[in-house]
Amino acid sequence: MVHTYEVWVDIKECAEQLGNTFRNGTTRYEVDAESMQKATGLACDQARSDFPRGTEYDARVTRLLK
């Protein structure tokens, strides 16, 4: 059975190519998936697509929406 999950992904981006300055941010996704683990993976994939300069992605499911 497919459910809709709210998933927040923390993203760490390198602000400069040669520097060690980083920018942190968080984005929210609503993901349709069969399990929390699949929802986490799909949200990370979407975050990688939306923020390709990211160096770290940390996803967490916060709510079951439906």
Q: What is the pLDDT of residues 33-50, one digit of tens each?
A: 999 999 999 999 999 999
The reported pTM is 0.85
Domain count, the chain: 1
Note the pLDDT tens digit of each residue in 14-26: 876 666 778 899 9
For residues 49 and 44, what is the distance between their CA atoms, to the nearest angstrom? Answer: 9
Q: Using an 8 Å Cβ cutoff, are 65 and 30 in contact?
A: yes
- Local confidence band at 31 (pLDDT 50, 70, 90 cut-offs): very high
Domain that holds residue 12: 3-64
Q: How far apart are CA 37 and CA 3, in angstroms?
A: 12
